[in-house]
Structure 1
Amino acid sequence: MKKIFILSALAFSLAAVAQNQKQAMTKPKTTPNKAVVYQVFTRLFGNQNTTNKPWGTIEENGVGKFNDFTDLALKEIKDLGVTHIWYTGVPHHALVRDYTKFGISNDDPEVVKGRAGSPYAVKDYYNVNPDLAVDPAKRLEEFEALIARTHKAGLKVLIDIVPNHIARKYEGKTNPAGVRDFGADDDTSVEYKRDNNFYYIPGIPFQVPTSDTYKPLNGEKNPLIDGQFSENPAKWTGNGSRLARPDINDWYETVKINYGVRPDGSKDFPQLPEGFAAKEVKAHFEFWKDKDVPNSWVKFRDIALYWIEKGVDGFRYDMAEMVPYEFWSYMNSAIKAKNPNAFLMAEVYNPKEYRNYIHLGKMDYLYDKVETYDKLKEVIQGKTMPDPISDIQNGLADIEHHMLHFLDNHDEQRLASPEFAGTPEKGKPLMVVSATISTSPTMIYFGQEVGEPGKEDAGFGTHSRTSIFDYIGVPHHQRWMNGGKFDGGQLSQSEKDLRDFYKRLLNFTVSSPAVPSKFVDLQKVNREHMSYDAGLYSFARWSDKQKMIVVANFSWLKDSFFELRIPAELIAQWKLRDGNYVLHENLYGRRHALLKVVGGQGTATISIKPSESFVFTLAD
């Protein structure tokens, strides 16, 4: 815990002022209004094995199961302040393990990344990863039981759908009646046909990519490693490569889905009418009812509805911008017709396309990666001042609620890694700003809350990211898991303090009426004063029920002591008369400040340590 001290500005009348500001000293009791997504790599979560041999097998390195998400584990996740769990890697994807006795074909290691395989090379959308089941023959039943346990814990369930590409060897072994596999009815003699599920390179067979530096399974012998993979004609690769022998850096383990976009980029399907960006999701659903759409559209809509029927509450869409937004209008409106509260989030990395995918594609949330995330990373690495964070927030003002915030996920370097923030403590002010600056959901990645740095060499891939391709244990997370007790019994004191910080912060954000409200930049008015150091960042959010001021010190070297200025315009909007007001600090409830309003201008004396943040509220 941080050392307690009282600001000298409070010494003279804090008790009297606090009596008049009783509401400001009380944490708001409201229903949750901000979502918190806990991304968990399902294969890794419950694994207690600490061997961590590079390229290790399940027998050597272990693997987590659906059953590891016990009632107690889910309660602890819920108590962290979480509202939704994204179970990453649930759909059955290609992997190197023999499950033939369960009717599952073996996958060729030459078109599988790592040993455990990429969760984004889905092999069967109507079943789940057999690695995750105690009894692979009952793997679907075990996941259905997990859905029920998660709902019982008061949490919503999210899983992946990857519409842009699937595994090179897709085999639906448990398809519902009437469902045909991808490509089963394709005309393979042509590069493109609207209702083909794939793009083809007619007359040329697929050739396994080669590399001087990479060997499947790290050179281990395997009867399927023979330089051959049966695919004739070759299909386009998932990232759009049109080579029969894709490059080793391509998404060679996947094939691209055809959505009725011709090879020249033109669209071969109905277009949304003018003005449909302003239409509600119901109008989009009605529009598509009588339209003839490409076969791949229907296949993915049916996959999504299958999982909705099983109780899944929403989806995370991989690389959504590689699929036309008209398809998303069709898909998402069908989902919302079944479940109006479905939670739909997606990877879209082109800011110019954000509004198309939100308004026309009917996405609920998009990754705010290339703006807020990237800028926060630059700030903590000393590459830029924090001031542009406000410019980003103002530029996204019309869609801010749709821009999901995160600092850690399976694709990115771990927040606590040397390649990102350097330490978990240096990541704390980033987390405070990321979680409170916007009305949008916050996402954290399992292990982030206990400072996991991603140091392990799992095999395929590089350190600083927890491997999604191999069987591996996650050390910091395992210490919190504590042999299935889920009580943090093996954590160091600093790791316990870090998780306590996340718990306090996330629970505040889901209950605060100020977070889903108006954003006001405080940088400009404060940057004019010499005492306001370069590493400081401050802003306000407020509603009729709560007024909030956030101050973060991105510096890890320097204490700061300064007068925080609150502009007259904001003081007027808050309808504060001249006088003294207590600012209650919400993360720990110990470091209060005094807001003085004189002549309509507000000031508060702030003393803040390196990597420290304050979340102040002044309630009506």
Structure 2
Amino acid sequence: MTEPGWVEHAIWWQVYPLGFVGAYPADPPPGPDEHRLRRIVEWLDHAVELGASGIALCPIFESRTHGYDTTDHYRIDRRLGDDADFDQLVAEAHRRGLRVLLDGVFNHVGTDFPRYRQAVADGDTDWFRYNGEQFETFEGHGELVALNHDNPEVVDYTVDVMKHWLRRGVDGWRLDAAYAVPDRFWARVLPAVRAEFSDAYFVAEVIHGDYSARVRNSGFDSVTQYELWKAIWSSLNDGNLYELDWALQRHNDFLDVFVPMTFVGNHDVTRIASKLVNNRHIEHALVLLFTIGGTPSVYAGDEAGYRGVKEERFGGDDAVRPEFTTPLMGVDAQGHDIFRLHQYLIGLRRRHPWLHTARTSAAKLSNTQYVYTSQAGSDRLIVALNIDEAPMSFSLGEIGVENGRVAAGSGAPPQDVISQARIEPHGWLIIAPE
């Protein structure tokens, strides 16, 4: 593994800045004199209160629309503000002990990117994928022009952009649409950046395919664990915990090579509170996120049960990328409970940092009832999930434990140390073996 040592303790709070500060969609759009980026500073104490150790920012560079159509990688999006606003955000984050992760779009650029405008004007297409008749695009989006990753100038440009912002104080990069970029490109870029910034973290957006092979061939520290994200919500919705167990076995294999970035929500998907059919199962999704191996990421708003459905249409992301005002304003009683559960589970994880690389194994499994152990070396937690209409009972002796201390649970028994566990319908329990 290549990840820096500090990542063992990383828990990200992810923010989509353009939406978060009401800069996109907005008509008219704000100008740099509004300094919208500074609004995120006002939320840093909320991130600390949540228990996060870093903020992961979606695109903040100059673009025309949603941020993923970059036109200048060296300039802060004027709708967000300017360099001084960025410097203040980084300084205030670091003052609170929060790391900062930037989102780098290096697979494609927007049609206002100067090199693209030049290519259209003079026919010099070397910077882009060009098939002799037209420029290739990202997944058919005409406004997103694919870069030519075999061009050494594109390699050097990407290295320089990354170093520029690392010198400005950020701690790492999320590599957008990395799955669409040849591994050989990253294998040239990342060592060159690490030569100056050995402590930087690089996590790649990868959705399908062989995660481990991508890490080996590219040099990423981590990739986004979409397989597990899908298994969590679909197994809870379908009452098929065998799917979840299969995904966790795959997850164990990944942990032999790298530590995945785990999540139950992000800026590209329907929020977990809207995705789950039974709202009681939000708790189960969170218990999973914080008791298995990985580097957890919480998408802003999910910690308070925000809702939002992604739709496949123009503007279909807007519902999951809203403007934020006062922390927890308008949140109902369940939302406050979800926030407190996040706090407790993040605290539990911080007390057990070994969970970062923990492997899971099933001790009891049916469609609707699941007991698994998370273990690293001699450290172990027992986690029981019940999504059945009936209670679930088991003896700790069945899984080779004489007794254990209840660490957390829904309807947890009043006694601290137990040898028999009983989990209420649609409940859960976390036990620390004695």
Task: Classify 1:534/1:93 alpha carbon distance in 2 versus 1 (closer, same or farther; 3 Å).
Answer: same
Residue 18 (structure 2) aligned to one of 24, 30, 43: 43
Moved more, 333-342 or 152-161: 333-342
Q: CA deviation at 1:545?
A: 6.1
Q: Return the alpha-carbon distance in structure 1 between the equivalents of residues 186 and 40 of structure 2.
A: 32
Structure 1: segments with no counterpart, 5+ residues: 1-30, 95-116, 134-138, 172-180, 205-233, 240-249, 261-292, 528-532, 597-603
The one-letter amino acid of 1:379's match is: S
Q: 2:39 corresponds to which residue?
A: 68
Q: Do the aligned residues in 2 keep the contact of 1:46 with 1:65 (CA within 8 Å)?
A: yes
Distance 1:259 1:566, change over 3 A: farther
Aligned equivalent of 2:75 = 127
Task: Report the equivalent of 2:3.
Answer: none
Give the one of 136, 145, 157 matched to 2:100.
Answer: 157
AA paired with 1:127?
R
Instruction: Output the aligned Cα RMSD.
Output: 3.2
Matches of 2:96 and 2:266 in 1, distance apart? Answer: 23
Q: 2:47 aligns with which of 56, 77, 82?
A: 77
**Counterpart for residue 369 of structure 2:** 536
Q: CA contact under 8 A between 1:238 and 1:257: conserved in structure 2? A: no
CA deviations on 1:465-503 (whole Å, 9 max, x unpaired) are: 414xxxx535xxx4xx2xxxx4x3643322211111111
Partner residue of 2:408?
586
What is residue 325 of structure 1 aligned with on the other side? 183
Structure 2 residue corresponding to 1:494, chosen from 326, 329, 334 = 334
Residue 88 of structure 2 aligns with which residue? 145
Pairs within 5 Å for 1:137-536: 139-171=82-114, 181=115, 196-200=126-130, 202=132, 234-239=134-139, 250-260=140-150, 294-352=152-210, 354-369=211-226, 371-382=227-238, 385-400=240-255, 401-417=258-274, 420-422=275-277, 424-438=279-293, 440-454=294-308, 460-462=314-316, 465-467=319-321, 472-473=322-323, 478=325, 481=326, 486=327, 488=328, 490-523=330-363, 526-527=364-365, 534-536=367-369
8 A Cα contact 2:101 2:171, kept in partner:
yes
Report the Cα offset of residue 394 of structure 1. 2.3
Please state how far the C-alpha of 1:93 moved relative to its aligned partner.
1.1
* Cα displacement (A) at 1:315: 0.8
What whole-Å deviation, never above 9, does each CA across 1:333-378 have from its counterpart, x for those lacking one? Answer: 22222222212111112332x2232122111111111x21111121
Distance (whole Å) between structure 2 residues aligned to residue 75 and residue 160 of structure 1? 22
Instruction: Label 1:544 to 1:346 Cα distance change in 2 as closer, same or farther (>3 A).
Output: closer
| Number of residues of Structure 1 aligned to a counterpart in Structure 2 | 423
- Deviation (angstroms), 1:34: 3.7
User: TM-score scaled by structure 2?
Assistant: 0.87
| Kept in 2: contact 1:163–1:318 (CA 8 A) | yes
Structure 2 residue runs of 5 or longer lacking an equivalent are 1-5
Give the structure-1-normalised TM-score.
0.62
Give the 3-state SS of the residue equivalent to 1:430 in structure 2: helix
Asked whether the 8 Å contact 1:42–1:64 carries over to 2, the reply is no
Partner of 2:103, secondary structure, is: strand
With over 3 angstroms needed to count, the CA separation of the structure-2 counterparts of 1:372 and 1:409, relative to structure 1, is: same
Q: Higher RCO, 1 or 2 (CA under 8 Å, sep at least 6)?
A: 1
2:235–2:244 CA contact under 8 A, matched in 1:
no
1:524-561 per-residue CA deviation (whole Å, 9 max, x = no partner) reads xx34xxxxx63222211234563211112234xx2413
- Between the aligned partners of 2:85 and 2:376, the Cα distance in structure 1 is 44
Q: 1:201/1:544 Cα in 2 relative to 1: closer, same or farther (>3 Å)?
A: closer
Aligned to 2:393: 562
CA distance in 2, matches of 1:351, 1:64: 40
Which AA in structure 2 matches 1:199?
Answer: R
2:424 maps to 1:608: yes
Q: Decide which moves more: 429-438 or 541-550.
A: 541-550
Q: CA deviation at 1:39?
A: 0.8
C-alpha distance after superposition, 1:45-78 (max 9, x if no partner):
345x9xx9x975448xxx98211123x5212202
1:559-618 CA-to-partner distances (Å, cap 9, x unmatched) read 4131155556xx3xxxx6xxx53322236895456554xxxxxxx3212232x3222212
The one-letter amino acid of 1:448's match is: D
- Using the aligned pairs only, state the percent identity: 19
Alpha-carbon distance change, 185 to 453 in structure 1, aligned in 2, over 3 angstroms: closer
Cα displacement (A) at 1:159: 1.1
Do the aligned partners of residues 514 and 140 (structure 1) sit closer, same or farther apart at CA in structure 2, a change above 3 Å counting?
Answer: closer
Change in 2 beyond 3 A, CA 1:490/1:394: closer
Please tell me the residue identity of whatever aligns with 2:254.
Answer: I
**Whole-angstrom distance in 2 between the partners of 1:426 and 1:588:** 11
Closer/same/farther in 2, CA of residues 166 and 463 from structure 1, 3 Å limit = closer
Q: Is the 8 A contact 1:36 1:82 kept in 2?
A: yes
Distance 1:506 1:170, change over 3 A: same
Q: Which amino acid aligns with 1:381?
A: N
